[in-house]
Amino acid sequence: MPLAFESLSNGTFAFGFFNVRSDMLLLENRFFFATDFCGWMTDLASSGADELAATWEIWTIDRPEDVGDLHGAIRGTRFTGFIGETYRHYPFPSEPGGFKQAPEGDGTQAEIAAMIARYARRGPIAFSASRGRGPVSVGDLEVADDVFRDLVRYVWRGGYPRWRDEQRPPYVVAMGVALEKSASWLLHGIDWEV
């Protein structure tokens, strides 16, 4: 489930997986697949530059009612917006043991992409970071370096409630390998156990 993180620009913000059967992540009202996120981190890991910049393709949902009600969807009482639609197709697990992030969640991407296309616009978002000079920026969201690393750690762990059987998908493992070898000041030396 998404967790709350502190930004330097917008106060508290939500980031994380929102359905255990999908690898899609939300960043407030922005959405992207974890496979993409891990690919973006792998790309950043290869740069030793002091200035990092990239443009990522994401989905943005402008109207809060089109995002939906996560808590209502989890309870099975309110299936509004995009999140509600995902829970109609992939309900919250009825047994507590089923509440684990599915390492095969990337297998639902085509279906989830078709769902979100009804609510969101697809487009670019700018990423930038400067060593020793200012925050990490993703669009209008600005975070401290350590908070950005917390987002990477969240995906590594499988968020809350973690990967099922602690089995990370191959794309997450590949990101971890790239980050362990990273030349990037932003991503090198992440403590995975924190």
Domain extents for the chain?
A: 3-33+48-167
Q: Once rounded to an integer, what is the mean pLDDT over residues 147-175?
A: 96
Strand, coil or helix: 15: strand
Q: Once rounded to an integer, what is the mean pLDDT over residues 7-32?
A: 97
Which residue, among 52, 53, 70, has the nearest Cα to 61 in the 3D structure?
70
Q: Residue 172 in contact with residue 156, Cβ under 8 Å?
A: yes
Backbone angles phi, psi at 3, to 5 degrees: -120, 165
**pLDDT recorded at residue 133:** 85
**Per-residue pLDDT tens digits for 51-80:** 999 999 999 999 999 999 999 999 999 999
**pLDDT recorded at residue 194:** 53
**Mean pLDDT of the chain, nearest integer:** 95
Q: How many angstroms from the chain centroid is the CA of residue 73?
A: 19
**pLDDT recorded at residue 114:** 98
Q: How far is it, in rounded angstroms, from Cα 19 to Cα 16?
A: 9
Instruction: Say how many CA atoms lie within 13 Å of 59 toward its Cβ.
Output: 21
